[in-house]
Structure 1
Amino acid sequence: MKAERPSPERLKQHLSERARALGFDALAVTRPDAVPDLGPRLAAWLEAGHQGTMGWMADTAARRADPRALWPQVRSIVMLGMSYGPDEDPLQAVRRRTRAAISVYAQGRDYHDVIKGRLKELAGVLASRAAAEVKVFVDTAPVMEKPLAQAAGLGWQGKHTVLLSRELGNWLFLGAIFTTADIPPDAPERDHCGSCRRCLDACPTDAFPAPYVLDSRRCISYLTIEHAGPIPEDLRAGIGNRVYGCDDCLAVCPWNKFAQAAREQKLVARRDLASLPLADLARLDDAAFRALFAGTPIKRTGRDRFVRNVLIAVGNSGERALADVARERLDDASPLVRGMAVWALARLLPEAGFAALRTARLDAETDTDVRAEWCSRPLAFGGAGRDADH
């Protein structure tokens, strides 16, 4: 005898219960046409160049602007949130200038791996009970998760463009299940930011040209993770000791008073990654880098880009004792690393010491970018840390 299909309401209730059991902290449903202005908003953002070198944002704009362009058969979108809330203030790490500040989300297991498996299991339940087709997405396909999550009522996009929840703060990973099933949608959430602008004022590199607008080209998370080449010089000082991502705009949000610590143990921040010495990180070779960050999102960035970030932090530390580790990286195989070693030394060494190094090293350097780092340092300038007492 053929099993009777549950009503849409009962199906939704069952999905919510099953999602909770799988570790998700929130579930809500929206329609694929729930954000009609998504296309114009995305087009304006791209036209301004705020995507930086993330060319795929423009390449997939049509599918991002309308979920039905991604999958014409979709009738309902199930949005899910999983908390990765920290159990202590992430900004404590930023104050330890000779140690590395790593974004909270990157201190646990790679959320793509954790969430995608759970989404597939939940989608399997949906497909079986509703006799429907399903597709799952976790930040790896052209899906605008945050506007869809707001349309579903999970929260609202704050002035820092991150999703905020009155129940969970802004420490949420998002996932989506597209389905051909007809599931009752939830009411969208409205904006609750009011006149608050703490997130905007907290940004060390002024990455918000206006509320609700992020210029990725100035964002520390973009610069330390997505940007492949040398980081623009005028932004390096603002990076401080943030070697992977930035939590400042999230950490200062007043709505975090309702945030809960991560329930999913695989997403709990590893204590051993919370405040690592810059000197140790600058000396990582590829094998040591892969071993230290195995299973985390950091591994995907690669050793050279990561050590580039570490050397910027070294240069920002104001600690002359770290000049030795920067000097060691002048012989690194990666021009990206060598260039940032030069910048760090220019910040830390007395003028005479830096001038002697330049004289000894410049002629042997063949990389254009590294030579530019050597030559962009006037010999008579009072760079931070070079002529100061520490």
Structure 2
Amino acid sequence: MSAAVLTKPHSERHTRSPAGVTLLLAFCLLLLLMLSLVKGAVSIPLQALPNMVWGDIPAEQVELTMWQSLLIEVRLPRALFAALAGGVLALTGVLAQALFRNPLAEPALVGMVSGGALGAVSIIVLGGGSFLLLAPAAFIGSLITTVCAYHLGRRYPGVAGLLLAGVAINAICFSLIGLFTYWADETQLRTLTFWNMGSLAGARWSLLAWLTPWLLAGSLLALRYWRGLNALLLGEREALHLGFPIKALRRQLIVLMALLVGPLVAATGGIGFIGLVVPHLLRMILGADHRHLLPAAMLGGACALVAADWLARIVVMPAELPIGIVTSLIGGPFFLYLLIKGRPA
């Protein structure tokens, strides 16, 4: 009986085949990646992509050489980084919602993103611009704020406690970020202003080489928690009766989320609402079984951030919008809709 409960929690509402939805999301991600590679301030012919990636272009073909450099050095690492970051943000959104047993939980709303940003900003202003320093500082900031939100939010039933804790923690973090910004010099100020709004402009192969193994390993580890996440949906007492060590499970999930979000925030700045919108939409389609929801959320988050990054690059060409503005313009109204509707997925 316990196996059936963990496989199909009571809140599950299947309306689509999980395999079909996953394949559709994978196909959409492939199409969005292709669109991101060929469309922008400079358009690249789709038929020329194979030769640019695998072929040998003669040096005298200046236009093709320029396109190849743009594709390999700028657009390809940025598109792959957008897919990786979006997948991780959506995955941590699912983890947060199960951990807090609250469908409105999301890394940015509970202070995890602002905590990571505070840690990274403090390092930038104090003179340590190396990513090897930014990532641990962002992890520590994310971990502290998540633990605080979790314990403060549990003091009040329902949505109110978590939201109030998130509002307070975000306010404190943003105030401290503002203080560090006041202390920053002119060069640091320009960096912080753009970074705080979220950006993938810093994507490069060296960054991907460092972050990809870390984030993929953490994501694969998170996928193994699907039974525990299903048990958490049933309530703490029921999960204990099913044999899950709830306290240890909570600690592991909090540390895992901070390990994923912290380094990502250090690289991208604040990108909100991916972890809120994508899990909600997919939960409406697939139900609450985390065996299917976790991988689907990763693909859905990757699609969402690749699309948002492409929009950020083309809306005000040849300049670009900070990607955090694009995700907030879409995610903010959706969040208000959930609150007004009063029946989140």
Q: TM-score, normalised by structure 2?
A: 0.26
Higher relative contact order (CA 8 A, sep 6+): 2
* Structure with the larger strand share: 1
Which is greater in Rg?
Answer: 1
* Structure with the larger helix share: 2
